[in-house]
Structure formats: structure tokens, C-alpha cells
Structure 1
């Protein structure tokens, strides 16, 4: 177990403040050379799934490497925490690829099938394609929240299916037990309202694009995430319950013990969505580093009035020291 030196000002310490500001648009204001350099990309996986993303290359050749960023549930490659993290990494010499999960951002039209968090194969294949295209240059992967969960599952799979060039993986506030996380979201009025609004909008977009495949009318009025999940799964999946679905991407106990790619997990004791106890119960191997901060909320870790993310410095130090 490791602890860093995050010590935000008193008014920034509350978990709710950290969590809300993590996605606040004002943090992304100002010049962003990474966004200016971005080029849209569509990746087609071996199973025919299409995922979108943006590649931002440095203006001059370099050996720093490429950082791949994965957003959280109902976020996107343009989420504030992705844009600000990408700007920080780009400003320190890294190329940046921001990958959208299926049905996130403006990618709903790319696939008929809907997004499920258990769909690891397509994300793993996309990361593999991006990495292999670097032809041996160092590649780093960082994911936030559900994206952190994907990053950790990719790390686990790399033990048996290595991705060439992938040197380091970082999970920020990763979801470990989605069953518990769902209950926490449903029991927080502010967080629940945030996710309900975004998920309903996403489902409406998907239905509008594929009206012959989807009718979410019996789902839209439901006022909690668990019941929405139950109804969606009952109609459009083979899962018998939300709990059985959640088990498909749960990471607890010994699930991460076999990781061999150097991996860093960063979480906060006061995370309002992910119980810190889940991390204390993890059994990891020597390739995995766990950093637990007393403050930071969910995806926050803002360390000063400029609202910079403390984890950004950890990322750069970790990536630059990669063997």
C-alpha cells in the first residue's frame, strides 16, 4: 500500500466537491493543444465492432510514447477529466489517443448492438490495434471509473495475451464491484440525477437511430439505475438479473492477482461511488501498486485552486520511469 501527498485546500476536501468538479466544464477551459492536434479515427475490431477515438500526435518526432485514455460510464473522449488529463500528458511530450466505448460520445450509429460493460473483447482489441500501430514505441493505458475497470481487466488479460509495447496501466477510481457501486449511485440524489439524465439521453439516441431494434419506453421513466438495468437486460440480453450481469465485470479478492504488466490503482477513501473496503480486500501480485488517498472523491483528486488533478503528475512520473 502506498500513500502520496495529495492535500487539497479545506474547501476542496469534501468528496462531493471533488466528484462534481472532476467533470465540471470550466476545468477544460482555455487552450488545449491536444484537442487542436486531434484526428478522428474509427477502429474496426476482429469481431466487426466499430469504436471511435481521436489521436493527437506531437508536432515533432519523440520517444515519450503514446497514452491511451478510457473514460467512465456515460462519459466520452470529450469528458472534462479526459480532456484535462490529455492536455497535461500532451504538454509533457506524450501522444494521446482518447478511445470511446461503444455508444459513448457520438458513436451510437457505429454499431446496432448496445453497450454492455461486459464487452471486454472489443475494447481489448482496440487497445491492441492502437498499440501495435506504434511499432514498438512505448504505450501506456489509463482508465477512469468504468474505464478503470476496463483497464484492469485488460491488464489481467495481458498475462496470457500480451499487447506489444504496452508498458504501464493505470486505473483511476476503478469500479471493482458494480453491484455495490449501483446501490451507492441509487442512494445519492445528486449522483443518481447525473447518471439518469445521461443514460436516458444515450438510450433515446440509440432508439432514434435504430427504431426497429429498440423501444426503451418502459425504461425511461424508471427513477433508479438498478431497475433500469433489470428492465434493459430482461428485454435485450440473455442475463437473468442485474446481479448476474454485474458479476461479469466484477474485480474482487484474487481477480487481479495474476497481473504481470506494471499496473497502478489509485482510489480515495472518501469515494462516494466505490467503497474503499473493496480495495483493501484485493489480493494483488508484485506488478500491481495500490495508492489510496484520504481525499479525492470519484475521479477528482484535485489538489489546488487551479483544479489540476494530482493523479496527472503520478501518471507522468509512472510513464517516464517505465522500463
Structure 2
């Protein structure tokens, strides 16, 4: 049976949020979903977050991860000066990177709390276009699972956690579902506003505020141009310019460049609704916002029920934002830390 749809502000479990994460109640000026979502990526906030996360960034060292099958991904590892409480592997969203605000923000908090932190870039993200010949698409779960296994092996810790935002949360949950069968020992996974049913997210982007659609199309086209510049003998994406919608662009990309028979096959290939998480055994937590303009919260009702999975839906928070005050601090950072520390 799927989980029942959770009322905004309620938890899917009988327990309350960890005590370190008090209830999320933003001030009046920060309650609108678009204010939350857009301010989360504001450049001024980025500068402040990087100052606050100075310890994480000062300790950061670039590492190339061998994911198997010839795939290499770039990441940034921040080691603790003494034995860490655990290892946290952070996964960003589509067209984000290991330098995204939400990654640096939660990474800095985890690092300051005593965790070693590995910020992973997906293929063709974070200016890594030249590392692999083939293109990124969201069904490339094998290489992300391979990366998690390689990172956990290289940087052995008493406990290993995976934290993902948006598409990164989707990857984190899929990786958790596969981990035990592959001998990957994960302590817990936390997903913030994960992509649930990609077809619903695509519709939300098409029908919602234009700025989100514009942002993702612009970033995606820029990434594809960078990929073509690295491998001009393989790619010429000039034919993509004629498409004006995210749906049409994705359909053409999936069938022309990613070998999927149709758009539905591609989008369903990375959905975590239905039975995708039925065998989930690794403890997992989802934080979602009822007002998320990108991820329709109703799709949570179609996740397979699992005793390993708990879900907290907050009435507000936008997409991966949860800004709690006018300093633009994120409530969900502390909620993630509380979940991880509770598992230690």
C-alpha cells in the first residue's frame, strides 16, 4: 500500500521532528513559495553561505572518482583533522553542482559538526564536461551508485550517509534501494524535495511560473553547448534550438541522444513512485514542502510503503529552500543534521 498523502505540516511517522530541528515557521515576508525558492539562490546569499562554510571549503580537495565502466566523476572531499563522526556524501540537483548554495550550506553545517563531507558532481555538472564522452541523463543511476561505493571505500568511516536535494534526492533514494544488494553499507539517506514522478515535475515546470522553465532551459542549453565544445566530433546540438518548451526539448534529447524509445520511457526510468522503493531497507528520510512549485507533493502518496522510509511534509518551504529568517538561513540544514546525528 502506498503512503497516505500527508497533510501539510504533519509528519508521516508517529514521532516528531528531531529535537534539534524546531518547527519551521518563516516570517510573513518569506512565506510565499516563489519568494522562498528564488531567494535561496540569490547571489548575496551565496557569498554569505561560503563565508559561513569556510571550514568546509578550506579543507576541500578535488578528487576524481572511478565509478566503474570507465566513468569518472569529480568531487570535493573535506576531511576532518581527527576521526570524523561519519562520512556525508552530498548530491546536487539537475543543472546544479557541488558548489550550489544548498550543498555548501548543509555541507558546512555537517563539517562543523564533525563529519567528513564529500560533495559529488554528476556527469556534465560542475564544469566536468570533458571527463566522459557520453552525455548526462537522469537514468544514469549505476554510475552514481558506483561513485557512492567508491567514495565510501576510499574514505572509510564508522557511518556513511547520503544527502540529496531535488534530483540529487531522487538519486540518493534510488541508490539506497540498491545499496544492500551491492554490499554498500549506508547508515541513512536524507532527501530534500526529491524528484518523485518526473512527468509531474515536467508539467509543473511547463505550467508554473515562467522563470523556472527559463532557468532550466537556459542552463541545460549552456551545458550542452559546453559538451559539444569538448567533443565537436560527437555532438552538435544546433537542432535543439528550435524547441521552445522543456517537454519538447527533453523528448528530442531523450530519443535522439539518449537512446530512449520515447519521452515516457525516459521520464518513467527515473521515477521513484510505484514500486521503485519497495525494497528500500536503508533508513531514509524525505523532507518535502506542500507548496513546492517544482515537485507536486501529491505524488508522495504513490511511493511504495516501507518501514525504512519516513516523510515530513512542511506547509511551506518552496523548492529546497525552507528559509526561516531574513538572514536567509535554511531550516532544513539543521533538520538534516539532526537526522544524521540521531543515527550516530
Using the size of structure 1 for normalisation, the TM-score is 0.96
Which residue of the other structure, out of 238, 244, 250, is the alignment partner of 1:223?
Answer: 244
- Tell me what 2:67 maps to: 45
**Secondary structure in 1 matching 2:178:** helix
Contact 2:137–2:258 (8 Å) recurs in 1: no
Aligned to 1:109, what secondary structure does the other structure show? coil
Which moved further from structure 2: 18-27 or 70-79?
Answer: 18-27
CA distance in 2 between counterparts of 1:69 and 1:194 reads 23
Q: For residues 262 and 305 of structure 1, what CA distance do their matches in structure 2 show?
A: 33
- 1:178 aligns with 198
Gaps of 5+ in 2: 1-11, 18-22
User: 2:25 maps to which residue?
Assistant: 7
Q: Secondary structure at the match of 1:140?
A: strand
Counterpart of 1:19 in structure 2 is: 37
Given that 2:205 and 2:212 are in contact with CA atoms closer than 8 Å, whether structure 1 keeps it comes out as yes
CA distance in structure 2 between the partners assigned to 1:82 and 1:141 by the alignment: 12
SS, match of residue 290 in structure 1 = strand
1:93 and 2:111 correspond = no
> Normalising by the residue count of structure 2, what TM-score does the alignment of the two structures yield?
0.90
Structure 1 gaps, min length 5: none
CA shift for structure 1 position 178: 0.6
119, 127, 130: which one pairs with 1:106?
127
Which residue does 1:260 correspond to in 2? 281
The structure showing larger relative contact order (alpha-carbon pairs under 8 Å, at least 6 residues apart) is: 2
Runs (4 or more) in structure 1 with deviation over 3 Å come to: none
Contact 2:274/2:304 (<8 A) preserved: yes
- Which residue in the other structure is 2:168 paired with? 147
Q: In structure 2, what is the Cα distance between the partners aligned to 1:174 and 1:29?
A: 25
Task: Indicate the residue corresponding to 2:187 in structure 1.
Answer: 167
Query: Which residue pairs with 1:34 in the alignment?
Result: 56
Would the aligned equivalents of 1:70 and 1:77 in 2 still touch at CA under 8 Å?
yes
> SS state of the match for residue 326, structure 2?
coil
